[in-house]
Every structure is written in C-alpha cells, then in structure tokens.
Amino acid sequence: MRSGLTLKPGQKGTKELLEKYGTALLYVRYRYDEVRGVRLKTIELVIEEKQWQPPFRWRDGDIVPVAVSYAERNLREKLKALGGRWEPEDKHWRVPYGLIRGTELEDKIPADFMVNHHRNRR
C-alpha cells in the first residue's frame, strides 16, 4: 500500500470532515492498495491532549558536575585526561558533557543537578 496525497484541514477535499471533526482533524490522506485496486481515504484525529514535558537533553558544551569518589582512581584519571576540573567546595569534577556522553562517567552526574539544571534552562 502506498501513500498518496496528504491534505491539511481547510484544503480542498477536507470541508465535510472539518465540519464533522473540527479542530481534532489533523490530516486527510489518500492511500492506494494496488493489490486490491482500491483507494482509501484516512484521517488523523487528536483524541487526547494533556500536558507534556520534553525529555531533558544535555548539550555537548554544557559543563556538568561529575561525582567520583576518591576510591575510583581510574575514573579520576579519565576526568583529568579529558581536562576536567576538580571543584573542592562542591566535591565534584566539572567537565563538558560532550566529552563524557556515552561513557560510564555520564552515569556519575548527580540526579539533583539534572533536575535543577533542567528547571533553570527553560
């Protein structure tokens, strides 16, 4: 089955459906079933609307804290090699997120920092 024409509400061919469904109508599509030799007219409707917050995403240039204990020597060495800075007052390393994305160090970003940073970024 292949998809053909896609119409937005208000375009020619959507008037009756727009009257019936109102603002819930998103699209009218024509699909073609070559096996059966038929054209199908389908619609996309909004059936629910509720508040949603997009998932938080770090940017590569964001400086993030990384909590690594003194006993985790190999991780401290990795942070040093990446140019991480130790912040003694916070007891965290600071490093650009892009350098630790996808590594075990990403899991060491404190959860409370993620919540607070997300609120402040809006």
Residue type at 3? S
Q: What is the pLDDT of residues 83-97, one digit of tens each?
A: 999 999 989 999 999
Contact 61, 97 (CB under 8 A): yes
Q: What is the pLDDT of residues 8-58, one digit of tens each?
A: 999 998 999 999 999 999 999 999 999 999 999 999 999 999 998 877 788
Provide the whole-model pTM.
0.52
Q: Which domain holds residue 29?
A: 2-45
69 and 114 both lie in a single domain: yes
For 2-100, where are the E strands, in sequence order? 2-7, 25-33, 38-45, 63-66, 85-87, 92-96
117 and 67 both lie in a single domain: yes
